[in-house]
Amino acid sequence: MAEEHHGGGASPVLRVEAESSSEQRVASSRGAMSREDCVEGIRSALKHPTVRFLREEMEKAGCQVWPRLIQAATCSTAGGYASREGIKVCCNHMRLQDEINQVIIHELIHAYDDCVTKNMNWRNCAHHACSEIRANHLSGDCHYKRELLRGFMKIRGHEQDCVKRRALMSVKTNPYCSEAASKDAIEAVWNICYNDTRPFDRAP
């Protein structure tokens, strides 16, 4: 999901967000953990091996990893990332530690792309599509167990179908990208972006 934000005199910022819990069995704040538990869950997520690896790779690449890069919030989606603003975890959608981990991993991939990709432009549908493909593919969002919990029972080819579906759900909410443009962008960049596994290609 992308939202345009205007700050005092600053240029517009597109917030790129993880897909909401609309595909999950509980798509509301009912049953969500308390804010206190969510904040503690974020602290725990910082110890997750994949989260630590991504933060370390960002630092090695010279990316800014400031203390409040990841913040707890109340919002309409599962989480989000915006340039110069960082990552938000929407506590009113979080029920499990695994969900917090997944949101942070997904959004850290967006943050990594935003930093290391030359001339990254979130208004550009192809740029946005590429980052969504990478985030959904590399974060594990489309693991078959998660797909089964969402009610998608297909086994053969499920991962690529899931990545395309979830990428489209995000890109088409970008105010600069119609649904048709989003589909075209995903198809245009699919091969190169799906096979771009940075920085995990350097994982030990």
pLDDT per position as a tens digit, 68-108: 899 999 998 899 999 989 999 999 999 999 999 999 999 99
What is the rounded average pLDDT of the residues 166-195?
A: 97
> Is the per-residue pLDDT at 11 higher than 50?
no
Least confident of 13-17, 51-55, 161-165, 170-174: 13-17
pLDDT greater at residue 14 or residue 139: 139
Q: Say what the pLDDT of residue 21 is.
A: 39
Burial string for 79-94 (b: 16+ CB within 10 Å, else e) reads: bbbbbeebbbbbbbbb
Question: Does 57 qualify as catalytic in the annotation?
Answer: no
Q: Which residue has the tokens 């910082």?
A: 46
**How many of the other CB atoms lie within 10 Å of CB of 197?**
12
Instruction: Quickly state the pLDDT bin for 5 (edges 50, 70, 90).
Output: very low
Q: Is the Cβ–Cβ distance between 16 and 110 less than 8 Å?
A: yes
Residue with tokens 């725990």: 44
Q: What is the mean pLDDT of residues 33-60?
A: 96
Judge whether residue 175 has pLDDT over 50: yes
pLDDT of residue 84: 87
pLDDT range class, residue 18, cuts 50, 70, 90: very low
Percent of the chain with pLDDT over 70: 81
174, pLDDT greater than 60: yes
Q: Name residue 9's amino acid.
A: G
Please identify which of the residues 107, 132, 147, 159 carries the catalytic annotation: 107
pLDDT tens, position by position, 115-162 = 999 999 999 999 999 999 999 999 999 987 776 667 777 666 689 999
